[in-house]
Amino acid sequence: MRVKLGVAVVTMGTRPKELAALLASVASQTAPAARTVVVGNGCSLEDLPPWVEKVELPENLGVTGGRNAALERLRDVDLVLDLDDDGLLTQDTVFTRIGELFAADPVLGIVSFRIADETGVTQRRHVPRLRAGDPMRGGYVTTFLGGAHVLAQPMLAQVGDWPDAFFFAHEETDMAWRAVDAGWKVLYAPELLLQHPRTSPTRHAFFYRVNARNRVYLARRNLPAVLVPVYLGVWVVLIVARTRDAAGLRAWFKGFTEGWRTPCGPRRPMRWRTVWTLARLGRPPVV
């Protein structure tokens, strides 16, 4: 039986040409999606193909809120493929390969794409492992890429949706940790390619603040109590050592404080077995 794949795209309405190209690449797949949903995150949606389902949110709920709005429309599919609105599927067999991967492994919960720019180069930050030298080396990992990934509905039913409080940044690691703790696998499949313009995360003015805030959220929600100060202490040292932007560093520590003072959703600390699993996969939850 062929699995039903739903496609979800969240947009702020600022990239109409890129969105149109992405949707054309979705329509060109040899194994068609069962449904495609585009969420307007605080914007209206115009000039979309008739086969696209529109969800217009009255305000920008961030990446997490927008994806959750799409999930609400896609409960009846088996798999949900999230795509950035400025990405592009350059091969027409992507959906077929997704179906093959999930059919081969009943405990596969999440599949991460490879992301490369127009020249075929993958930035190191787009390889979901510490040893990022070879972006073509696939395998099981501890996180995944937000720009292009597939979620299995049985996994979502068990671990829950995206954490609304995050808005943007580290929400994929939160989802991955919860999935691994529940016994699901996260696979990096580099043969699945999303072409995406080369970008820097610091292009977003609020990057430093939400990056720090969500690090704290991630630890508070998921880590055993003894690992919370270890994880956050390591990241304080790394940020101080790496950051040359004084204003950015001030914003980071402001966000770090905000992460302790504001609600982040329910706390469900992972089992020590999960800590060991993450360590065996190459990234213990302290870095």
In this structure, is residue 164 part of a structural domain? yes
The total of structural domains in the chain comes to 2
Domain coverage including residue 112: 5-199
pLDDT of residue 1: 55
Whether 90 and 134 map to the same domain: the answer is yes
pTM > 0.85: yes or no: yes
Looking at residue 122, the DSSP 8-state letter turns out to be P
Whether 23 and 92 map to the same domain: the answer is yes
Distance in angstroms (rounded) separating the CA atoms of residues 223 and 235: 14
In this structure, is residue 286 part of a structural domain? no
In this structure, is residue 287 part of a structural domain? no
Nearest to 262 by CA among 230, 228, 221: 221
Whether 148 and 267 map to the same domain: the answer is no
Whether 64 and 195 map to the same domain: the answer is yes
Whether 15 and 154 map to the same domain: the answer is yes
Whether 161 and 208 map to the same domain: the answer is no
Contact 101, 111 (CB under 8 A): yes
Average pLDDT, consecutive stretches of 10 residues, N- to C-terminus, the chain (287 residues)? 90 96 98 97 95 98 98 98 97 98 97 93 81 86 96 98 96 98 97 89 72 97 98 95 88 96 97 97 91
Whether 27 and 153 map to the same domain: the answer is yes
Whether 124 and 254 map to the same domain: the answer is no
Look at residues 167, 199, 231 and tell me which one is the last residue of a structural domain.
199
pLDDT of residue 199: 72
Q: Could you tell me how far CA 62 lies from the centroid of its own chain?
A: 12
pLDDT of residue 125: 78
Whether 30 and 163 map to the same domain: the answer is yes
Whether 192 and 176 map to the same domain: the answer is yes
pLDDT of residue 132: 67
Whether 35 and 129 map to the same domain: the answer is yes
Contact 89, 25 (CB under 8 A): yes
